[in-house]
């Protein structure tokens, strides 16, 4: 009897549960059905500890997508982590990660959301530092400490909800009280911004690329970074009472900054990470404009093609002897035809090429944004960001698939059966997922009337962006790269507007100098004498005195006797 691998078994179970969750979600959507389960864990006198689960179409469809993508990633890891000595540890960490996300998705209660939320933060730290080197440790600390800000915001929101009498956010969807509720929603937005890495918390997302590639595929498609967007989709009815223009500005700038940065980056995984950041900015901005269902739709379509993109990138990095620099890659289409085909499918879907999965959600988002009476700045940045997405995708295809024949000599090109099998379902989802979901979620089509120029503008920007990406990447004998001629600008853009510096040494440098001053004044100054060494010094003197009396007690007794005798005579 052949031994069944832990990875294959886990993948099979996840796929079955994901497919069934998705079908249940579709049933709930069609019949407008919601299931609210109260599970009483403990009842003591009049006090009961309850665990509540909310199963509606949003949670079930999202859960199904998370499980299906996780099953493909776990199956892919069977081959990717095959030579790793800690592969069973990796398997259980990934499983804990998925279960934390599940906990967060089905909870209508801020208390139980916190369990999943914190679980995501802690397990993501363990996965980022998985390779155990200094770079991984630094990235892990940046990831976990930024996410702690969001955890604190959730804790404060829990404390704030004590004013209402219940932690179930579902009860307050139609309640609005300016004085209290606005503080609560601001805390929830802060939590969502840290988890989904919006400005000014963006720097941890590319740093988290230190984790193994299967983890990156999971984190950037459907789990960790989407938790913030999902939380805000759940609280979206409260957002409608708040002026969100400032948050809209932040998310639009995140989208633009990430799209611009990806055009000047050379690390393959970081380019895809910045692409995720750009798409998260798109989801957040359409959410703040007031279309939560559209944000959810893009969340699902993005999950499919982004997971596929990471799985293809992982195989490419494997073949390049673990080098992630796109300048070392080239002419891979000759050696890895299947992987490069999947890579192109996911990239075209990301760009929003007509009738691919990403086209349905992106096109609708751009049309609804054009319809929403926002100013020209928002309109302009939206379309420019779409063009930048096409630009870096084209650049990626050009560098990895066709450009630069004189690449590494120590390459081991191979296409693994297990890795290829895990890419096939995701490729189908990246092509057909968007159309199927749009037919399911939007049961009646909404008629949007635009002039022809405005209707064709998204497509125009996609093709224009692709052409620009090719132009910036191509190099001749006499010409140099575009970015070498404008080095300062390209460094500023590629370094995420210096945000990693603000999050790391520019932030803690001042605090270190302050703590050094406190140390010299307090710990090494008068505090040293009064608090640390002072009592020891005084007790030492006292014990010496007592010691002296103890060893000379006969003399002292004699002197005291004579002294008392003389006084009594007087």
Query: Is residue 484 included in any domain, yes or no?
Result: no
Query: Is residue 437 included in any domain, yes or no?
Result: yes
Query: Is residue 490 included in any domain, yes or no?
Result: no
Query: Is residue 510 included in any domain, yes or no?
Result: no
Clarify whether residues 50 and 19 are in a common domain: yes
Q: Write the DSSP symbol of residue 83.
A: T
Structure tokens at 380: 């302009």
pLDDT at 489: 74
Clarify whether residues 170 and 260 are in a common domain: no
Q: Write the DSSP symbol of residue 198.
A: -
* Cβ atoms 128, 143 nearer than 8 A: yes
Clarify whether residues 384 and 277 are in a common domain: yes
Domain end marker among 179, 199, 227: 227
Clarify whether residues 275 and 199 are in a common domain: no
**CA–CA separation, 565 and 386 (whole Å):** 106
* Residue 352 phi, psi dihedral angles, 5° rounding: 90, 35
Clarify whether residues 220 and 250 are in a common domain: no
* Cβ atoms 68, 19 nearer than 8 A: yes
**Cα-based torsion angle of the residue sequence 557, 563, 566, 570 in order, rounded to the nearest 10 degrees:** -140
Clarify whether residues 330 and 420 are in a common domain: yes
Query: Is residue 538 included in any domain, yes or no?
Result: yes
Q: Is 449 exposed, middle or buried (0-12, 13-18, 19+ CB in 10 A)?
A: exposed
* Cβ atoms 352, 445 nearer than 8 A: no
Helices marked H in 196-291: 204-207, 213-221, 226-234, 236-239, 245-262, 268-289
Q: Is 73 exposed, middle or buried (0-12, 13-18, 19+ CB in 10 A)?
A: buried
Clarify whether residues 247 and 390 are in a common domain: yes
Please report, for residues 11, 91, 227, 373, 487, the alpha-carbon distance to residue 219 in angstroms, rounded to integers and kept in the order given.
17, 15, 10, 34, 32
Q: Which residues sit opposite 54 in a β-bridge?
A: 36
* Residue 293 phi, psi dihedral angles, 5° rounding: -70, -35
Please report, for residues 224, 333, 395, 440, 465, the alpha-carbon distance to residue 268 in angstroms, rounded to integers and kept in the order given.
20, 16, 11, 34, 19
Clarify whether residues 31 and 179 are in a common domain: yes
Q: What is the pTM of this model?
A: 0.85
* Cβ atoms 60, 74 nearer than 8 A: no
* Cβ atoms 25, 61 nearer than 8 A: yes
**pLDDT by position in tens, the chain (length 570):** 456 688 889 899 999 999 999 999 999 999 989 998 888 888 888 787 788 888 999 999 999 999 999 999 899 888 888 777 888 888 898 899 899 999 999 988 888 888 888 888 889 888 888 888 888 888 888 888 888 888 899 999 888 887 777 777 777 766 666 677 888 888 999 999 998 888 888 888 888 888 888 888 888 887 888 888 999 998 888 888 788 889 999 999 999 999 988 888 888 888 998 999 999 999 999 999 988 999 999 999 999 999 999 999 888 888 877 777 877 777 778 788 888 899 999 999 998 888 888 888 888 888 888 888 888 898 989 899 999 999 989 888 888 877 665 555 556 777 778 888 888 998 999 999 888 888 888 888 878 888 888 888 888 888 898 888 887 776 654 455 555 667 777 777 777 777 767 666 666 667 777 777 777 777 677 666 677 777 777 888 888 888 877 777 777 778 888 888 888 887
Clarify whether residues 133 and 172 are in a common domain: yes
Clarify whether residues 192 and 255 are in a common domain: no
Q: Measured in Å, how far apart are the chain's first and last C-alpha atoms?
A: 111
**CA–CA separation, 442 and 429 (whole Å):** 18
Query: Is residue 217 included in any domain, yes or no?
Result: yes
Domain end marker among 184, 201, 227: 227
Clarify whether residues 273 and 380 are in a common domain: yes
Query: Is residue 236 included in any domain, yes or no?
Result: no
Clarify whether residues 58 and 96 are in a common domain: yes
Quickly count helices (H) and strands (E) in the chain. 25, 2
- Put residue 322 in one of left, alpha, beta given phi > 0 → left and psi -120 to 50 → alpha: left
Domain end marker among 449, 474, 499: 474
* Cβ atoms 434, 357 nearer than 8 A: yes
Range of the domain at 96: 1-227
Query: Is residue 255 included in any domain, yes or no?
Result: yes
Q: What's the number of domains the chain is made of?
A: 3
């Amino acid at each position: 009897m052949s031994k069944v691998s832990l990875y294959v078994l886990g993948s099979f179970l996840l796929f079955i549960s994901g497919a069934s969750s998705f079908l249940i979600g579709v049933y709930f959507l069609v019949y407008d059905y919601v299931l609210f389960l109260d599970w009483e864990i403990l009842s003591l006198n009049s006090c009961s500890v309850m665990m509540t689960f909310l199963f509606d179409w949003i949670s079930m469809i999202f859960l199904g997508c998370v499980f299906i993508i996780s099953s493909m990633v776990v199956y892919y890891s069977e081959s990717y982590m095959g030579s790793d000595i800690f592969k069973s540890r990796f398997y259980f960490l990934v499983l804990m990660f998925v279960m934390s996300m599940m906990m967060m998705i089905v909870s209508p209660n801020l208390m139980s959301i916190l369990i999943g939320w914190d679980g995501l933060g802690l397990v993501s730290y363990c996965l980022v530092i998985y390779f155990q080197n200094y770079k991984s440790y630094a990235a892990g600390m940046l990831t976990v400490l930024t996410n702690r800000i969001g955890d604190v915001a959730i804790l404060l929101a829990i404390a704030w909800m004590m004013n209402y009498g219940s932690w179930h956010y579902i009860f307050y969807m139609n309640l609005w009280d300016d004085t209290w509720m606005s503080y609560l929603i601001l805390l929830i937005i802060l939590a969502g911004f840290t988890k989904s890495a919006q400005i000014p918390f963006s720097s941890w997302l590319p740093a988290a690329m230190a984790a193994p590639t299967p983890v990156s595929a999971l984190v950037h498609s459907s789990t960790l970074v989407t938790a913030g967007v999902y939380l805000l989709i759940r609280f979206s009815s409260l957002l409608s009472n708040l002026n969100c223009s400032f948050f809209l500005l932040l998310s639009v700038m995140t989208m633009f900054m990430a799209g611009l940065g990806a055009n000047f980056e050379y690390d393959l995984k970081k380019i895809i990470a910045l692409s995720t950041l750009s798409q998260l900015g798109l989801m957040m901005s359409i959410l703040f404009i007031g279309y939560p269902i559209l944000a959810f739709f893009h969340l699902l379509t993005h999950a499919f093609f982004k997971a596929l993109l990471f799985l293809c990138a992982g195989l490419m990095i494997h073949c390049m002897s673990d080098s992630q620099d796109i300048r070392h890659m080239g002419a891979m289409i000759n050696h890895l035809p299947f992987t490069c085909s999947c890579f192109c499918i996911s990239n075209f879907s990301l760009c929003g090429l007509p009738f691919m999965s990403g086209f349905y959600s992106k096109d609708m988002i751009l049309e609804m944004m054009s319809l929403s009476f926002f100013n020209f700045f928002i309109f302009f940045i939206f379309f420019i960001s779409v063009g930048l997405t096409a630009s870096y995708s084209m650049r990626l295809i050009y560098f990895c698939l066709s450009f630069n024949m004189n690449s590494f000599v120590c390459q081991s090109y191979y296409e693994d059966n297990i890795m290829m099998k895990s890419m096939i379902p995701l490729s189908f989802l990246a092509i057909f997922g968007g159309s199927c979901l749009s037919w399911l979620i939007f049961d009646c089509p909404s008629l949007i009337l635009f002039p022809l120029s405005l209707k064709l503008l998204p497509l125009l920007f996609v093709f224009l962006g692709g052409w620009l990406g090719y132009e910036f990447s191509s190099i001749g004998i006499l010409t140099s790269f575009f970015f070498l001629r404008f080095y300062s600008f390209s460094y500023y853009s590629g370094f995420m507007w210096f945000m990693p510096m603000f999050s790391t040494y520019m932030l803690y440098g001042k605090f270190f100098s302050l703590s050094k001053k406190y140390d010299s004044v307090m710990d090494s100054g008068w505090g040293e004498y009064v608090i640390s060494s002072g009592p020891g010094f005084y007790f030492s003197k006292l014990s010496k005195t007592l010691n002296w009396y103890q060893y000379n007690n006969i003399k002292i007794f004699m002197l005291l006797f004579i002294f008392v005798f003389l006084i009594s005579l007087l």
